Chain A
Amino acid sequence: MGLQGDFYQLLKEQGYAFGLAGQAKVEQDLIAATTILAFKYRDGVLVAGDRRATAGNVVMYDRTDKVLEIDRHSVMAIAGVPATAYEMARVLEHSFKYYRRTQLQELSFEGKLRALSKLLKENVPAALAGTGAVAPIFAGYDSEQEAAKIYFYDILGAEFEGVEYAVSGSGSPTIRGILHYLNTWGEQPLSALSEEQATIQALRLLTSAAEFDSATGGVNRDAGLYPVIKFVAAGGVRATPDPQLRALFESKVSRTT
């Protein structure tokens, strides 16, 4: 009777299956590619993602939210096949809620990391078949250690801690180098940035990624489209509203006004 508070097990008992292998050879381009990033700033972790979804050289959608709030204290940023990634996010969201409500306590941060790792492992057949590869970043506030943390995963489910920052997606090689440079030789390390300074850097990083990666959407001022930027801190998850992003972009990022 639900002693373990394991929602995913409950789903499987109901006949739910995750990560079924698709066709080994995919005839049609799958929607994929992206840039997501996370780094520690003064008060916690900033997590950001562009909003473009592509299939091959076709832009499928320019308003995708890739930084998904899983519960009050954790977010998952997704890179890879959206169908699988969104399903993972839904399973996680329900799993964390179910655990909290059945066991009358929050699932530990470690437990949340393992839950995502388990889903990725179950998804390996689909990932290897080319129909469901997902390489997410998970960031959350660890109330035991009173610190916000970043973890990133490969498509097989291995988890790695991003001690200072983590990136994923097709645009990530571009900004990984920039993050290393900023953190090592910048005026101050990323972890010393204020919320506003961190937001400016995130906007500049995603703009740089969009410059070199056609599958990453930059800022589209005409359409009022800005990246999704969320903060994870002791008080929970908070999104930065578009008007604030617009003001910072125009004053600190754009070279034309």
Chain B
Amino acid sequence: MYEEPYRWVEAVGNRRHYLDEQFKQGSPVVGVAYEAGILLMTMSKGTPKLYEIYDRLALGGMGHPADLEKVRFTLLETAHIEGFNRSPFDVTGSRMVKYGLAPVIKQAFEEVFKAPFIVKIILAELGQKIGKDSFLTVNYDGTFEEKNCYAMLGATPGVEQEMAAYLRSQTIVSLDQAVNAAVCAWAVGDRAQRQAFAEPGEPSEAPTNLDRQVSDSDVLYDHVRQCMNDKSIECALLDRQVPSTSKYRTIGPDELATLLPGDLGRSAA
């Protein structure tokens, strides 16, 4: 029945609606460039959402863990084969996404008899020079966007816009500023998602003060603090200062404790 164009368009529309529903409970992901590299940040419940892909490439994702694994392996295989057959310098985020991953995700999305990828990703790429860092975001339908200073994943475009507006207002130079801006931007996104999907009249399980000014950092830290009951902060860096060719490293709880304000840092440790 999907041979009829109208049916196919309708099926794809249904699929889009279905996929949007799947991200309602997802944890946003934030990527910010700072002086010495790129920070990826999210909050997760045990299963990591941030990964090393290649010497200068890192992945952050939201969605179904099994689909994120499929995407991760696709990127890992493509990057390593390319890096071996040509050179690590030829492994660029742009090539990986535009000619590798995005067409696969788009095809899966439009083949209505097959399962789509329930996943959205950020691919962060550390440039050879300061100011050349970049991000690529890929949506569940294969559409991708290139960004420079920051990038984010949220359940809806509206959520992402609120996160972007927050990050735009921040000055990010040091790692300390990057971590704090990313944590607050995550809180902006998570609060926006909870507001967007709150059932009318239903008592919210969400942390309180959702109606207060979102740029108030105390409110945002308080939101993160409450979320830490069942989630933990996950941070990964592409760090220009790492001496080896692989620039990826994670920020452990002890280091995180020194970067976040007082009690929030201690809770993370």
Contacts and interface: CB of A to CB of B under 8 A. Distances in A.
Contacts of B96: none
Contacts of A42: none
A104 B48 CA distance: 10
B234 to A, nearest CB: 13
Contacts of A90: 84
Interface in A1-21: 1-2, 7, 10-11, 14
Contacts of B48: 104
Given A72-B244, A94-B83, A97-B246, A10 B51 contact: no
B70 A98 contact: no
Interface stretch (B14-22, B72-80, B108-116, B165-173): B72-80
Given A72-B244, A97-B246, A102 B73 contact: yes
A102 B76 CA distance: 7
Contacts of B77: 2, 10
Interface in A90-129: 90-91, 94, 97-98, 100-102, 104
Given A101-B51, A101-B52, A94 B80 contact: yes
A164 B55 CA distance: 34
Contacts of A94: 80, 83-84
B81 interface: yes
B224 interface: no
**Count class of interface residues, chain B:** 10 to 19
A166 to B, nearest CB: 25
A91 B84 CA distance: 8
B46 to A, nearest CB: 13
A8 to B, nearest CB: 10
Given A1-B73, A2-B73, A102-B73, A7 B244 contact: no
Given A72-B244, A97-B246, A101-B51, A2 B76 contact: yes
B137 to A, nearest CB: 21
A10 B81 contact: yes
A101 B53 contact: yes
Interface in A54-79: 71-72
A11 B81 contact: yes
A11 B81 CA distance: 7
A98 B73 contact: no
A97 B80 CA distance: 9
Contacts of B83: 94
A14 B81 contact: yes
Given A11-B84, A90-B84, A98 B76 contact: yes
Contacts of B73: 1-2, 102
A105 to B, nearest CB: 12
Contacts of B51: 101, 104
Nearest to A3: B73
Contacts of B69: 1
- Greatest chain A CB density within 10 A among B54, B55, B70, B76 is at B76
B19 to A, nearest CB: 22
A101 B77 CA distance: 10
A65 B221 CA distance: 52
A9 B53 CA distance: 19
Contacts of B70: 1
A227 to B, nearest CB: 22
A10 B244 contact: no
22 contacts: A1-B69, A2-B73, A2-B76, A7-B84, A10-B81, A14-B81, A71-B244, A72-B244, A72-B246, A90-B84, A94-B80, A94-B83, A97-B55, A97-B80, A97-B246, A98-B76, A100-B52, A101-B51, A101-B52, A101-B54, A101-B76, A102-B73
Interface of A: 1-2, 7, 10-11, 14, 71-72, 90-91, 94, 97-98, 100-102, 104
Given A1-B73, A97-B80, 10 more contacts: A1-B69, A1-B70, A10-B77, A11-B81, A72-B244, A94-B84, A98-B76, A98-B80, A101-B76, A102-B76
The 8 tightest CB contacts between A and B, nearest first, are: A2-B73, A94-B84, A98-B80, A101-B52, A1-B73, A72-B244, A102-B76, A94-B80
